[in-house]
Amino acid sequence: MYNIFMDICDLKSKNVLVTGAAGFIGFHTAKRLLMTGISVAGFDNLCDYYDVSLKEARLHELESAAKPQNTSEPPVFTFIRADLADKAALEKTFNEHKPDAVIHLGAQAGVRYSIDNPDIYVRSNLVGFVNILECCRRFETKHLLYASSSSVYGSNEKQPFSVNDRTDNPISLYAATKKSNELMAYTYAHLYGIPITGMRFFTVYGPWGRPDMAPMLFMDAIYNGKPLKVFNNGDMKRDFTYVDDAVDSIVALIDKSAAMFAENIPYKLYNIGNNRPEKLLDFIALLEEYSGKKAIKEMHPLQPGDVKETYADIGELIRDTGAAPKTPLGEGLKDFVKWWIGYYA
């Protein structure tokens, strides 16, 4: 059994493993750690679910962030290209880098994609997650933080979504795998005393985003004069969360586990959101304004696995970490559009 009150506050003397380091949130998290002088081992398989060149460009940014910044001991970025389902590769990574904290952001993402491609979700999100848990147990990782999703709330009608709400009715396979992650994580925390924190992310957006997500799809359609698919005829709201605010929460949670144990089980769940749902049509209007182009809207019904509204109750996150979102939608989208035009136009 672990000493569950191990101190990991002095991160600059510790090793941090970030899975999904070439992904959207993983990249921003690894870059933040590197820019603050913390060495990072990044783990990613660079799958072709979306444009691999974007992932490679993110990795190049991380390598640049790890270069000396007027310090005698610059942070180190090490990249391991391997699959989460490859247990031997993961064990080798843990053995060589001996991470004190693991930020597990690697997974097969996408609600709609899971309907037609279930096998990859089982491999990455279930088998891969068990491998992470087993490595954390075997190598006595001091804190595991992992990505869950707002999709676990399914079609819950109570708003805002609270971490105390029931989440046993997922409406997509992706959501079901994330709910399964939460159950497995709780079990490992209970059985082995591994400090584990789950993070339910709400529609994170920003520079270097995922091309399969609405902000990138919308921007591509608007800028290039292509029809923009608007589901549920635009009658949707999302708790759009700027990526820097999401990373603020992740970093704040790294060394907070010991103070937040419930019933002597070192496990905690948080919503990572903006606590302010925005109308989808307002979101599109801001993209039009900042890009100087008009959208060609194509209205469609609600898609299987989608929900009409997401809205995060982040009271517990603010209480425990003080990490409150601070980026207004307009400001975040202005930065996103500027990056998108610079990268793609």
Active site residues: 174
* CB-CB neighbours of 330 under 10 Å: 11
Per DSSP, helices labelled H in 193-322 are: 214-224, 243-254, 280-291, 315-321
Cis peptide before 160 (omega within 30 of 0): yes
Nearest 10 degrees: Cα torsion 33, 37, 43, 48: 60
Yes or no: say if 221 and 296 are a contact pair by the CB < 8 Å rule.
yes
- Which of 329, 100, 127 lies closest to 215 in space, CA to CA? 329
Nearest 10 degrees: Cα torsion 190, 195, 200, 201: -160
SS3 state at 77: strand
Yes or no: say if 161 and 116 are a contact pair by the CB < 8 Å rule.
no
Contacts 24+ apart (CB under 8 A), 188-191: 188/133, 188/136, 188/137, 189/265, 189/266, 189/267, 190/265, 190/267
Q: Which two tokens stand for residue 301?
A: 């019904």
Yes or no: say if 139 and 95 are a contact pair by the CB < 8 Å rule.
yes
Classify residue 322 by its DSSP letter.
Answer: -
